Amino acid sequence: MTIFNLWLFDEKGNLIYYREWNRKKNTSMERNEEAKLLYGMLFSIKSFVNKLSPADMKDGFLSYKTSKYRLNYYETPTGVKLVMNTDTTVTHPIVRDLLKSVYGQIYVEYAVKNPMYVLGQPIESELFGVKLDDLVRASPLFKA
Amino acid sequence: MARLGGRGNLDPKKVSGELFSLTYGALVAQILKDYENVDDVNKQLEKMGYNIGIRMVEDFLCRTSSGKCHDFRDTADKIQLAFKLFLNLSPTVTSWSSTSDEFSLIFDTNPVAEFVELPDHCYNLRYANILAGAIRGALEMVHIEVACWFVQDTLKGDNVTELRIKFLRRIEDSVPPGDD
């Protein structure tokens, strides 16, 4: 089981944090370009999933899987979006729980509650990075 | 504001409600001194509340793990829950408009004004206006635009404190940013 990387978007689609742990293949794009591409895709998938669903949904889009990786998505009611790429041996619900803890224990505690952090700006706090790293590495999902 | 009493005795982050009331009182008194004009003070308090609200809502969401609101009545229940969580108050939700887009929160006392008496020249001061701002800010973050104002206030001789909340519109999801 492996966690590849994590993307954090704000409500308006700005990339506020990116972190990678195991990423073997990189694109030739700038990180910002990559983020826009990813966000655009998520935005489309979300509306696609909502429109084609035969019944009312609670959570909407959750994850997709290719032969090599799984992209896991979690969005809060305030529109903060967390994306975590893992390998395919992992099921979505356990990654979702991890993403919820990243939101509740890291984003809320070390970004939102930090008055020096301006909402919607990239997170530069070192403490945030350290705490995030601790949380992710402590997770049973993480095995480099 | 997030660190107030009423979350059980085990919580080490618990702070006495009196500390908050007194701190808030000192703040209002200072703003009153700085601005002199009561209307400006009301505006400043609302603005501060708004800034608190847009952050507090994240704390509320992760602590209660609540999802999106289905309708405005659902929103009212969650606001009630938030008052319980942050201020250990249980306001009553009443006076629904016929279209369910407007309701009142009734507090037996003024929620932040335990030790306050308003002098005559501040009759128009909306002492607890920070709460109105906090509600507006918090709801804006979950894409609900509301107007929020005090209708009655125990500080002004009314029997109860009444906060009126009106649904204005739903804020639409924003499209991805362009290339520029």
Instruction: Write out pLDDT tens, residues A64-83.
Output: 999 989 999 999 999 899 99
- Per CB-CB distance under 8 Å, the chain A contacts of B67 are 58, 77
The CATH number of residue A21's host domain is 3.30.450.70
In a domain, A144, yes or no: no
pLDDT of residue B7: 43
CA-based nearest residue to B20, from B118, B104, B130, B107: B130
CATH 3.40.140.10 fits B37-170, yes or no: no
Nearest-angstrom CA–CA distance, B97 and B101: 6
In a domain, A71, yes or no: yes
pTM of the model: 0.83
What's the domain count of chain A? 1
pLDDT of residue B138: 94
- Per CB-CB distance under 8 Å, the chain B contacts of A40 are 176
pLDDT of residue B50: 95
Nearest-angstrom CA–CA distance, B20 and B1: 7
Mean pLDDT, chain A, whole residue set: 89
pLDDT of residue B178: 57
Interface confidence: ipTM more than 0.85: no
Full pLDDT tens readout for chain B, 180 residues: 444 444 444 555 666 778 888 888 889 889 988 987 888 899 999 999 999 999 999 999 988 988 888 889 999 999 999 998 888 888 999 989 999 899 999 998 777 877 777 777 777 888 889 999 999 999 999 999 999 999 988 888 888 899 999 999 888 876 665 554
CB contact under 8 A, A14 and B177: yes
Percentage of chain A exceeding pLDDT 70: 99
Chain A, 57 to 116: residues with Cβ < 8 Å from chain B are 58, 76-80, 100, 103-104, 107-108, 112-113
Give one DSSP letter per residue of A15-42, joined into a string.
EEEEEESS-----SS-HHHHHHHHHHHH
In a domain, A55, yes or no: yes
Q: Which residue has the tokens 């929103």?
A: B75
In a domain, A143, yes or no: no
Residue numbers of the domain that contains A38: 3-138
Q: Are the C-beta atoms of residues B24 and B130 closer than 8 Å to each other?
A: yes
- Long-range contacts made by residues B36-40, C-beta under 8 angstroms, separation at least 24? B38/B122, B38/B124, B38/B125, B39/B124
pLDDT-based confidence at residue A22 (cuts at 50, 70, 90):
confident
CB contact under 8 A, B142 and A39: no
Angle at B127 between CA B125 and CA B128, to 5 degrees: 140
Q: Is A51 on the interface with B (CB under 8 A)?
A: no
pLDDT of residue B131: 92
Query: What single letter denotes the amino acid at residue A140?
Result: P
- Per CB-CB distance under 8 Å, the chain B contacts of A36 are 176-177, 179
Sorted by where each begins, the domain ranges of chain B are 37-170
Q: A56 to chain B: nearest residue by CA?
A: B70
- Per CB-CB distance under 8 Å, the chain A contacts of B175 are 13, 43
Which of A30, A39, A49, A76 is most worth mutating to test chain B (most B CB atoms within 10 A of its CB)?
Answer: A76
pLDDT of residue B49: 93
- Per CB-CB distance under 8 Å, the chain B contacts of A79 are 141, 143, 173
pLDDT of residue B11: 58
